[in-house]
């Protein structure tokens, strides 16, 4: 294959022409008001990152900013600090009375906890964990709903120098068991249950099932959330409230080396065995505090910030717990679903608390589009001054809808690209500086070096599509996979050699050098010799006024390699007719070309999603191919698969 053939690794088909310059009123007050920071950080990235680390409180300053390149890089060598101290103690003298979290339970309970109150609770629990034998270097498993005790548990572990392993509360017992065993945890922190769409999620029951297969577990700490009667194992199970009451408020924060492990967070792996992503203290905290402050333009004295993710995912670790608390910010912590008891729950929270910044996923935004504008229209959302998007590429129409109907047509929208592995945002606009393009994550964050390569490892240049890479380490990146260094090297540093990190995502560069993320490489379809990203076809479908949401997969075809199958959720007021099917195929052909026109379209009321809002395209591929479905335990709406399978049973390709 010639180098010219290789250049078009992934077709760059979709063109988006709309642009939005930063409002002058926003730029004038922005934490980063001009673009010179990019030049400074590019010229001397280590000095830039050093300036961001200096915003933290260090017990002992580092000797050297950085040693090594990918895959063996270390940051802030011999520096000593503690994440819990940086999130709590250092704020007490100036901001101890500031609210750290406004917590809202799904049934309607409310609690506002100040930095001083959070500090006391964390100290008491950290002291109590010591009494259970938790020591520096241990890993503690946490399996809790979205309640204040979850960040308390994380910060208590960090205070002692024990790493935490938070397991998403939507995971089943088997997933919890595997993560506990992989990390060798001896203490599990869980709850009697949590609430989701009016139902009790039986966390303790799942924890009991999991622990039967966990020989290292010695103690199970139980938070009483729902008050349900649960199984109690004497000698093993311990009541959280009793423990905290007996703990001391004088629990000193353990000095940690910058490279000491802060937490392990498991992410799914292609082999079926979860990968324990290891994050360290100094570099991670530097990255999340810097990006949180500058990308969300945080003003701790006045902002009420809401990252509407779950702490069980990395988004919650970085932008609900460590980033906001390190910056002394007031955050919203909401336990439940966006449609309980009604579809305006989020908007009522924003109105009641005067939320100024909202950070959520494109799937949530498209769901709100499907529900219609009447729900946000009932509430005063004028307090919002900035919106953010995270989790997967946002299609342009969802971006524009988000800005218009949630942001009042005035707020910047920062679309962010990053991963569990990067720890912090790596590509995103700076809202006071960057001219925005709907659907583009725009430029790498200052100090981040990203590019797009073809298969041969050559930059594709502006106008080309290929594979996203990072060519220089950043402080917040993970250091290894727990207990499996070889898997770390093989997964991330094999494609282009050890000096280049390959995250597994497709991307394109436009003529202005803006990055457009195209989703996972696994989500690229090979149609008649053209490699087409699912993201671009989905964006073209959602561009049609009848479409609320779409997911696209490839279906094997003997002549063409794959044909495109689209699963489409119509907006309210539209029906999935043959006429609409034909209209949508023509619309995609018009927007991005005939080669990307879906051969088959299945209309459905919803798409299979995890509780974090991600569409499970893997399951849709199984449906399209007529295969047995894979694991569905993390789905929030598993019954929809039965409907989709029934409608897909006689998939035929139109001529």
Q: Average pLDDT for residues 61-74, to the nearest whole number?
A: 97
The pLDDT value given to residue 475: 98
276, 183 contact by CB (below 8 A): yes
Residue 265 has pLDDT above 80, yes or no: yes
The pLDDT value given to residue 523: 72
Assign residue 190 a region (left: φ > 0; alpha: ψ between -120 and 50; beta: otherwise).
beta
Q: Read off the pTM.
A: 0.87
Question: Which of 575, 565, 553, 579 has the alpha carbon at shortest distance from 651?
Answer: 565
CB atoms within 10 A of CB 477: 25
| Cα–Cα distance measured from residue 627 to residue 622, given in angstroms and rounded to the nearest whole number | 5
Place of tokens 């924890």: 207
Q: Average pLDDT for residues 69-98, to the nearest whole number?
A: 98
Q: Is the dihedral of CA 231, 232, 238, 239 positive or negative?
A: positive
Fold topology of 528-648 = GMP Synthetase; Chain A, domain 3 (3.30.300)
CB atoms within 10 A of CB 612: 19
CB atoms within 10 A of CB 487: 17
Q: Give the DSSP per-residue string, 492-509.
A: HSSSS-TTSB--SEEEEE
The pLDDT value given to residue 170: 84
Q: Average pLDDT for residues 625-629, to the nearest whole number?
A: 81
| Cα–Cα distance measured from residue 419 to residue 597, given in angstroms and rounded to the nearest whole number | 30
Map residue 85 onto helix, strand or coil: helix
324, 457 contact by CB (below 8 A): no
Between 649 and 215, the higher pLDDT residue: 215
144, 191 contact by CB (below 8 A): yes
| 360 strand-pairing partners | 389
∠ CA 463-465-467 to the nearest 5 degrees? 140
| Cα–Cα distance measured from residue 304 to residue 321, given in angstroms and rounded to the nearest whole number | 14
The token pair at 294 is 């500058």
% residues pLDDT > 70 (the chain): 94
Summarize pLDDT for 351-360 with one digit per residue, the tens. Answer: 999 999 999 9
Q: pLDDT tier at 649 (50, 70, 90 boundaries)?
A: confident
Summarize pLDDT for 116-147 with one digit per residue, the tens. Answer: 999 999 999 999 999 999 999 999 999 999 99
Residue 335 has pLDDT above 70, yes or no: yes
Q: Is 200 exposed, middle or buried (0-12, 13-18, 19+ CB in 10 A)?
A: middle
Place of tokens 């709406």: 637
- Cis peptide leading into residue 150 (ω within 30°): no
The pLDDT value given to residue 62: 98
| Cα–Cα distance measured from residue 566 to residue 532, given in angstroms and rounded to the nearest whole number | 13
Q: How far apart are the first and last CA of the chain?
A: 32
Q: pLDDT tier at 6 (50, 70, 90 boundaries)?
A: very low
579, 547 contact by CB (below 8 A): no
| Cα–Cα distance measured from residue 214 to residue 173, given in angstroms and rounded to the nearest whole number | 11
| Cα–Cα distance measured from residue 354 to residue 352, given in angstroms and rounded to the nearest whole number | 6
The pLDDT value given to residue 652: 55
Residue 442 has pLDDT above 90, yes or no: yes
Are β-strands 413-417 and 427-428 bridged in parallel, bridged antiparallel, or unpaired? antiparallel
Place of tokens 């203490």: 187
Question: Residues 6 or more apart from 93 whose CB is under 8 A from it?
Answer: none
CB atoms within 10 A of CB 39: 10
Q: Average pLDDT for residues 630-635, to the nearest whole number?
A: 68
User: Quick one: CA torsion of 229, 230, 236, 240, rounded to 10 degrees?
Assistant: -60
Between 272 and 508, the higher pLDDT residue: 508
The pLDDT value given to residue 424: 98
The pLDDT value given to residue 1: 31
Summarize pLDDT for 396-434 with one digit per residue, the tens. Answer: 999 999 999 999 999 999 999 999 999 999 999 999 999
Residue 292 has pLDDT above 70, yes or no: yes
* Length of the chain counted residue by residue: 655
Q: pLDDT tier at 655 (50, 70, 90 boundaries)?
A: very low
Q: Which of 13-27, 234-248, 371-385, 472-486 has the lowest mean pLDDT?
A: 13-27
Question: Which of 567, 468, 588, 457 has the alpha carbon at shortest distance from 518?
Answer: 468
The pLDDT value given to residue 650: 66
Q: Tell me, what DSSP letter sits at residue 338?
A: T
Question: Which of 349, 347, 302, 348 has the alpha carbon at shortest distance from 329?
Answer: 302
Q: pLDDT tier at 10 (50, 70, 90 boundaries)?
A: low
The tally of CA atoms less than 13 A away on the side-chain side of residue 151 is: 35
| 143 strand-pairing partners | 190
Between 274 and 103, the higher pLDDT residue: 103
297-315: string of b/e by CB count within 10 Å (b at 16+)? bbbbeebbbbbbbbbbbbb
- Name the residue ranges covered by the structural domains of the chain: 528-648
Give me the chain's average pLDDT, please. 92
The pLDDT value given to residue 609: 83
Distance of CA 350 to the CA centre of its chain: 21
The pLDDT value given to residue 585: 94
Q: Average pLDDT for residues 524-532, to the nearest whole number?
A: 74
Place of tokens 């191919």: 625
Map residue 94 onto helix, strand or coil: helix
Question: Which of 106, 170, 173, 165 has the alpha carbon at shortest distance from 134?
Answer: 165
Are β-strands 261-267 and 275-280 bridged in parallel, bridged antiparallel, or unpaired? antiparallel
């Amino acid at each position: 294959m010639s180098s010219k053939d290789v250049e078009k690794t992934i077709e760059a088909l979709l063109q988006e022409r709309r642009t939005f310059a930063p409002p002058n009123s926003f730029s004038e007050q922005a934490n980063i008001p001009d673009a010179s920071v990019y030049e400074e950080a590019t010229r001397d990235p280590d000095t830039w990152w050093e300036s961001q680390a200096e915003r933290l409180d260090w017990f002992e300053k580092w000797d050297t900013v950085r040693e090594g390149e990918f895959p063996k890089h270390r940051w802030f060598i011999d520096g000593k600090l503690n994440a819990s101290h940086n999130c709590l103690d250092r704020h007490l003298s100036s901001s101890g009375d500031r609210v750290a979290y406004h917590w809202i339970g799904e049934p309607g309970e409310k609690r506002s906890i100040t930095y001083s109150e959070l500090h006391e609770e964390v100290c008491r629990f950290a002291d109590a964990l010591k009494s259970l034998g938790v020591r520096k270097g241990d890993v503690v498993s946490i399996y809790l709903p979205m309640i204040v005790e979850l960040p308390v548990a994380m910060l208590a572990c960090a205070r002692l120098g024990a790493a935490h392993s938070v397991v998403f509360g939507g995971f089943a017992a088997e997933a919890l068991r595997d993560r506990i065993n992989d990390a060798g945890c001896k203490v599990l922190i869980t709850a009697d249950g949590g609430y989701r769409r009016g139902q009790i999620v039986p966390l303790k029951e799942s924890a009991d099932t999991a622990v039967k297969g966990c020989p290292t577990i010695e103690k199970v700490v139980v938070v009483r959330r729902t008050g349900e009667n649960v199984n109690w194992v004497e000698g093993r199970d311990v009541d959280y409230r009793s423990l905290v009451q007996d703990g001391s408020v004088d629990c000193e924060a353990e000095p940690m080396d910058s490279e000491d492990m802060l937490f392990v967070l498991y992410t799914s792996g292609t082999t079926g065995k979860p990968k324990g992503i290891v994050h360290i203290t100094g570099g991670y905290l530097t990255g999340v505090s810097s990006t949180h402050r500058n990308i969300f333009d945080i003003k701790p004295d006045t902002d009420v910030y809401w990252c509407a993710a779950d702490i069980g995912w990395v988004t919650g670790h970085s932008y609900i717990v460590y980033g906001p608390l390190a910056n002394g910010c007031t955050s919203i912590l909401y336990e439940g679903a966006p449609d309980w008891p009604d579809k305006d729950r989020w908007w009522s929270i924003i109105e009641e608390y005067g939320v100024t910044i909202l950070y959520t996923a494109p799937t949530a935004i498209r769901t709100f589009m499907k529900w219609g504008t009447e729900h946000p229209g009932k509430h005063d959302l004028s307090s919002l001054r900035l919106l953010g998007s995270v989790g997967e590429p946002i299609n342009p129409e969802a971006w524009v809808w988000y800005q218009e109907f949630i942001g009042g047509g005035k707020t910047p929208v920062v679309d962010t690209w990053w991963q569990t592995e990067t720890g912090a945002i790596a590509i995103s606009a700076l809202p006071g500086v960057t001219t925005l393009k709907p659907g583009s994550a725009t430029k790498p964050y200052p100090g981040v070096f990203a590019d797009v390569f073809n298969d041969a490892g050559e930059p594709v240049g502006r106008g080309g599509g290929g594979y996203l890479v990072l060519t220089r380490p950043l402080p917040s990146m993970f250091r290894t996979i727990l207990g499996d260094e070889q898997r770390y090297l093989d997964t991330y540093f094999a494609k282009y050699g050890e000096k280049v990190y390959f995250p597994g995502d497709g991307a394109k560069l436009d003529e202005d050098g803006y990055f457009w993320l195209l989703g996972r490489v696994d989500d690229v379809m090979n149609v008649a010799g053209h490699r087409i990203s699912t993201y671009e076809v989905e964006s073209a479908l959602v561009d049609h006024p009848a479409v609320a949401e779409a997911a696209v997969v490839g279906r094997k075809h003997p002549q063409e390699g794959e044909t495109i199958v689209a699963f489409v959720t119509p907006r309210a007021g539209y029906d999935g007719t043959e006429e609409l099917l034909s209209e949508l195929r023509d619309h995609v052909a018009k927007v991005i070309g005939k080669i990307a026109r879906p051969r088959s379209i299945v209309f459905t009321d919803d798409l299979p999603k995890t509780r974090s809002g991600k569409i499970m395209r893997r399951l849709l591929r199984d449906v399209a191919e007529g295969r047995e479905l894979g694991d569905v335990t993390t789905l929030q709406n598993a019954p929809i698969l039965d409907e989709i399978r029934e409608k897909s049973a006689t998939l035929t390709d139109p001529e």
